[in-house]
Structure 1
Amino acid sequence: MRTRLLLLPLCALAGPALAEDIACEGAFAIDSSEARLIEMYGADNVRTEIVPGPEGTEMLATLVFPDSPKRKLMFVWWDEDKRRDPSFIELTAKMVAPGGLRIGLTVAEVEALNGEPFTLLGFGWDYGGAAGFQSGNLADLPGGCVVSLTFSPPDYPVGDDVDSIMGDVEVSSSNPLLAQVGARVESVAIGYPHPDFRD
């Protein structure tokens, strides 16, 4: 009985892993590179290869923890030859991006973080549910990075009443249909403008 009681506090400490807050620095900084990832995570945990891109394309990406679905990070570079200057970095489900963004948030929760409505693309195609921020709290983040999201409903929405949020159209985050279909953040990425277009 005493042994069981002693184990209880240890079990409480071994609960769900805490979320990891990400800043636009270190591995995720504007000047990151494959070399930095190898230095930080170890050569055995970093692999650069061709991965599927949107609309049937392929692209070069550096993967960190490539064989671990829950830990895998994907870095896509502006400078593919030297594998540096991140274009975008896909985060894991346990990571919290600058501004408090994470996988699983509803559209309304993201709108609250931004402090104003934003625009996302309609569902049902390669860029379906994609969203960025032109204004609001999430448009000017420390470190100069930009954040982008992909929203997805749990089931493919059908019916005439949801036609207005399907396909290549812009949808306001304030549209009540987004809550009706239960759209939530499916992926989070941070990135940087092309070096030619930086201040």
Structure 2
Amino acid sequence: MLARFFVPAFAAVLLLTMPAAAKEKTKASQVTCEGVFGPESSEALVKQTFGPDNVVTGMVDGPEGMQMLATTVFPDDPQRTMRFGWWDEDARSGLSYVDLAPSQIAPGGVRIGQTVAEVEALNGAPFTIGGFWWDYGGYANIENGNLAHTDDKTCWVSIRFSPADDYSSDIDATPVSGEVQVPSGEALLEMLDVRVAVVSVSWPAPEGYGEDHGQPAD
């Protein structure tokens, strides 16, 4: 069940440190919520789509030192690395989430490396971001706008932001640290060069999931 509530932050903000020339050569591909990225996806379809030699399934690091099962695609190519999580881990099917690669564009136009202002422009409305520097920090809370999740029958985009690794010691980052909600218009976000670090496409649990796993269904 952990995969439903937590998207592992394994992706670094690679575009922030790439030379400009390398960024220009990175060909972005648009992701849609269907096929291998749809709710009926499976490890078998991932292997069929990307080639079995490019797919590895096993335990990966989760929050608070936990381990969780995931299927990783192109693990040795950071610009193309994706990670799939499954509702049915035994069958490795029923897509819970997929963390997208830096070279991919999520539905709505979001991709790794964008600034908070760029995401706000795509959304067409302000939102809040969880404070940084803890296991569950940096996630966007989008209740209104183009990127808001309003229909449990469709996928939604989860966005996690991260500040730059190094910033001026003159900046007091306390207001954006820990368990707080930070408005997307907060000036500190630009001062800290906060950008998208992880973009995920997620799906709700299949009907009857709780019953199938020995838990009461919603």
TM bucket normalised to smaller: 0.7 to 0.9
Structure 1 contact 133–139 (Cα < 8 Å) conserved: yes
The match for 2:159 is 149
> Do structure 1's residue 178 and structure 2's residue 176 form an aligned pair?
no
Q: So what's the TM-score if we normalise by structure 2? A: 0.77
Deviations 1:162-193 (A, max 9, x none): 21110111111121211121111111111111
Deviations 1:143-178 (A, max 9, x none): 811111111111356668321110111111121211
Q: Select 2:37's aligned residue among 28, 32, 42.
A: 28
Structure 1 contact 99–141 (Cα < 8 Å) conserved: no
- Cα distance in 2, alignment partners of residues 197 and 97 from structure 1: 28
Which protein has the larger Cα radius of gyration, Structure 1 or Structure 2? 1
Structure 1 contact 133–147 (Cα < 8 Å) conserved: no
Q: Select 2:74's aligned residue among 57, 65, 77.
A: 65
Which region of structure 1 is more displaced relative to structure 2, 145-154 or 61-70?
61-70
Q: So what's the TM-score if we normalise by structure 1? A: 0.84
Deviations 1:113-151 (A, max 9, x none): 111111111011112211142221012589811111111
Structure 1 residue runs without a partner (length 5+): 1-14
The match for 1:7 is none
- Cα distance in 1, alignment partners of residues 46 and 204 from structure 2: 20
Once the two structures are TM-superposed, the CA of residue 69 in structure 1 deviates from its matched residue by 2.3
Q: Secondary structure at the match of 1:195?
A: coil
The match for 2:175 is 164
Structure 2 residue runs without a partner (length 5+): 1-23, 210-218
> Do structure 1's residue 187 and structure 2's residue 198 form an aligned pair?
yes
Pairing of 1:43-82 with structure 2 (within 5 A): 43-82=52-91
- Cα distance in 2, alignment partners of residues 178 and 36 from structure 1: 39
- Cα root mean square deviation, aligned: 2.2
- Cα distance in 1, alignment partners of residues 91 and 72 from structure 2: 15
Cα pair distance change 1:24/1:130, threshold 3 Å: same
Q: Select 1:118's aligned residue among 119, 127, 136.
A: 127
Identical residues among aligned pairs (%): 48
Q: Select 2:145's aligned residue among 136, 145, 156.
A: 136
Once the two structures are TM-superposed, the CA of residue 47 in structure 1 deviates from its matched residue by 1.6
